[in-house]
């Protein structure tokens, strides 16, 4: 079963991996581990929400707005798509994502078929 | 053995009584096996329901089968397979049926070969990814076989709310891939904690119905004791499971004496100890001796405290010094307001009311406790024992302003009238 681990952090901590080499090293190690175990399907770090563009289609018209779709206390900063046996395994990996220590990781199963 | 459930329907035939008992004793076991094989609690519940309806019909026409338990398991299995045929492709059915056949032998098997997957079901129902409320509801529904209506009324919520809560919990386990396998050794303690917390809440809700006129809901307490006993039986080497089971047995042994004829809650001091349930007390005390000495974990410590209260011949014989020391240990492991409160009271009973009062006063800076009725009732009690009647009156009044259950309210009012007979 595929699970996406959505990485949420406070907006001012989005650049932690750039600011803090220890955090970077931990992310690199974690990613390497999930690849080696054959669990990782995809993963990525997102650019700062300040450069986001939000798109809506209304009456056939494209409406673009500058910035994230909603102001939030915690913003989506990255994700891991993992192939796990069950929720317990997914939660175990989620808890090991370095940003779990300063943000939150939402674990969501990907609907099959 | 499980307690005999009080009958929920008037005038049942003998066969219906037998089937009702069978359902209450075994439904959880059948739900567990089907749910595990299908990875879905709802399928298990539906199949068991259907199987019991078939059993009821059979008993009307031809009487009960020789081994009703095995009959129900097979019937439930067939119901589940029928349902699969309607919703899945051929190859999927073949795979699931194979899994079911592995789980449920088709022959009339002796009890030793009869599968018992209840432990897996309990762990699934109490998955920490569910809220505590959901864990409690799902366990009562799927493992204990209570109806949604019974669970709703026990927790004072509308039936529709409980129906939604149960449906959501089951859907989450199914869609999020909640596992029906036992947690690996490394995760067992964390997962067991989640199970014990749910059982403890079921008991507490019954022991002290969180609002309203009645102080206890005996059935809910008995469900919790049954669950804790089952857990201990399935995990005999887990000290915390044993601790919780003993704690609940000790606490429940007093259920007949906890309310005075006036309707007031009866403190330990005035309870008629000859009416305590000695069978429960001896069972728990015997288990603690048999498995002891145990590592001092939270439920084990609480069980030992309860043992001191339950085995003291008279109130005056209570070993408060030891109890105070046990609360001290408990406070180190689990610094909760309730533990602090009980510790302060034990200190007062062991080392003098003045010290108890000082200990309670030092707690009143904590926001959760500042206005809590138990803190003020405790203060009032020490003040009364010290002969400081006026201050005691003030403290009892303050406790009264926040008391949640009627029996406790009556008790506080009685105390107030003793101190101040002119009071209305």
Q: What are phi and psi of A108, to 5 degrees?
A: -130, 125
**3-class SS at B58?**
helix
Burial of A13 (0-12, 13-18, 19+ CB in 10 A): middle
The partner residues of A9 in beta bridges, in order of sequence, read: A75
For B258-273, how does the pLDDT look when each residue is reduced to its tens digit (9 = 90+)? 888 888 999 999 999 9
- Does B2 have pLDDT greater than 70? no
* Best to test chain A binding among B174, B176, B187 (most A CBs inside 10 Å): B176
**Contact B69/B22 with Cβ under 8 angstroms?**
yes
**Confidence band of B409 (pLDDT split at 50, 70, 90):** very high
Inspect the interface and report whether the beta carbons of B177 and A1 lie closer than 8 Å: yes
Q: How many CB atoms lie within 10 A of CB A35?
A: 11
State the Cα–Cα distance between residues B416 and B424, nearest whole angstrom: 10
What is the DSSP-derived secondary structure letter of residue B139? I
State the Cα–Cα distance between residues B182 and B117, nearest whole angstrom: 10
The partner residues of A53 in beta bridges, in order of sequence, read: A66
**Confidence band of B113 (pLDDT split at 50, 70, 90):** low
**3-class SS at A78?**
strand
Residue of chain A whose alpha carbon sits nearest to that of B190? A88
CB pairs under 8 A between A and B: 26
Work out whether the CA dihedral B133, B135, B140, B142 comes out positive or negative: positive
Q: What are phi and psi of A61, to 5 degrees?
A: -95, 135
State the Cα–Cα distance between residues B202 and B292, nearest whole angstrom: 26
Q: How many CB atoms lie within 10 A of CB A45?
A: 15
The partner residues of A76 in beta bridges, in order of sequence, read: A8
For B61-104, how does the pLDDT look when each residue is reduced to its tens digit (9 = 90+)? 888 888 888 888 889 988 888 887 777 777 777 777 777 776 66
**Of A90, A91, A109, Cβ closest to residue B175:** A109
* Best to test chain B binding among A2, A39, A84, A88 (most B CBs inside 10 Å): A88
- Does B408 have pLDDT greater than 70? yes
Taking the CA of residue B187 and the nearest CA in chain A, the distance in Å comes to 9
A40-45 and A75-83 strand pairing: antiparallel
The partner residues of A55 in beta bridges, in order of sequence, read: A64
Chain A contact present for B407, CB below 8 A? no
**Contact A7/A78 with Cβ under 8 angstroms?**
yes
What's this model's pTM, rounded to 2 decimal places?
0.81
């Amino acid at each position: 079963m595929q699970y996406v681990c959505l990485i949420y952090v406070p907006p001012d901590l989005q650049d932690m991996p750039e600011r803090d080499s220890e955090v970077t090293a931990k992310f690199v190690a974690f990613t390497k581990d999930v690849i080696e175990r054959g669990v990782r399907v995809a993963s990525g770090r997102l650019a700062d929400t300040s450069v986001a563009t939000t798109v809506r289609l209304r009456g056939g018209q494209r409406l673009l707005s500058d910035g994230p779709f909603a102001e939030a206390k915690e913003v989506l900063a990255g994700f891991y798509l993992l192939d796990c046996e069950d929720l317990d395994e997914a939660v175990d990996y989620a808890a090991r994502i370095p940003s779990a220590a300063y943000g939150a990781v939402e674990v969501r199963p990907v609907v099959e078929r | 053995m499980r307690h005999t459930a009080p009958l929920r329907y008037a005038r049942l035939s003998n066969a219906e009584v037998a089937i009702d008992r069978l359902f209450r004793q075994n439904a959880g076991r059948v739900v567990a096996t089907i749910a595990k094989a299908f990875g879905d609690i709802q399928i298990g519940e539906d199949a068991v329901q259907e199987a019991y309806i078939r059993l009821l019909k059979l008993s009307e026409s031809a009487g009960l089968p020789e081994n009703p338990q095995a009959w129900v398991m097979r019937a439930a299995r067939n119901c589940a397979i029928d349902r699969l045929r309607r919703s899945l492709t051929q190859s999927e059915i073949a795979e699931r049926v194979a899994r079911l056949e592995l789980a449920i032998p088709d022959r009339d098997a002796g009890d030793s070969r009869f599968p018992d997957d209840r432990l897996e079901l309990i762990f699934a129902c109490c998955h920490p990814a569910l809220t505590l409320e959901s864990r409690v509801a799902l366990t009562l529904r799927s493992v204990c076989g209570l109806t949604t209506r019974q669970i709703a009324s026990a927790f004072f919520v509308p039936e529709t709310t409980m129906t939604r809560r149960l449906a959501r919990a089951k859907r989450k386990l199914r869609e999020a891939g909640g596992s029906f396998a036992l947690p690996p050794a490394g995760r067992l303690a964390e997962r067991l904690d989640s199970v014990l917390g749910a059982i403890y809440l079921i008991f507490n809700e019954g022991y002290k119905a969180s609002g309203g006129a009645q102080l206890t809901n005996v059935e809910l307490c008995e469900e919790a004791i049954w669950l804790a006993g089952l857990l201990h039986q399935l995990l005999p080497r887990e000290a915390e499971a044993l601790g919780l089971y003993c704690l609940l047995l000790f606490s429940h042994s007093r259920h007949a004496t906890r309310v005075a004829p006036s309707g007031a809650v009866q403190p330990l001091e005035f309870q008629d100890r000859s009416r305590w349930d000695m069978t429960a007390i001896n069972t728990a005390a015997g288990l603690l001796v048999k498995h002891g000495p145990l590592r001092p974990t939270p439920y084990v410590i609480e069980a030992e405290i309860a043992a001191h209260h339950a085995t003291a011949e008279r109130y005056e014989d209570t070993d408060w010094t030891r109890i105070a020391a046990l609360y001290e240990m408990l406070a180190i492991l689990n610094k909760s307001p309730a533990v602090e409160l009980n510790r302060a009271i034990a200190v007062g009973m062991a080392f003098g009311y003045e010290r108890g009062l000082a200990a309670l006063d030092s707690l009143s800076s904590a926001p959760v406790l500042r206005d809590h009725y138990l803190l003020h009732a405790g203060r009032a009690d020490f003040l009364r024992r010290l002969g400081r009647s006026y201050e005691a009156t003030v403290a009892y009044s303050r406790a009264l302003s926040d008391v949640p259950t009627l029996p406790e309210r009556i008790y506080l009012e009685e105390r107030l009238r003793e101190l101040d007979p002119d009071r209305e």
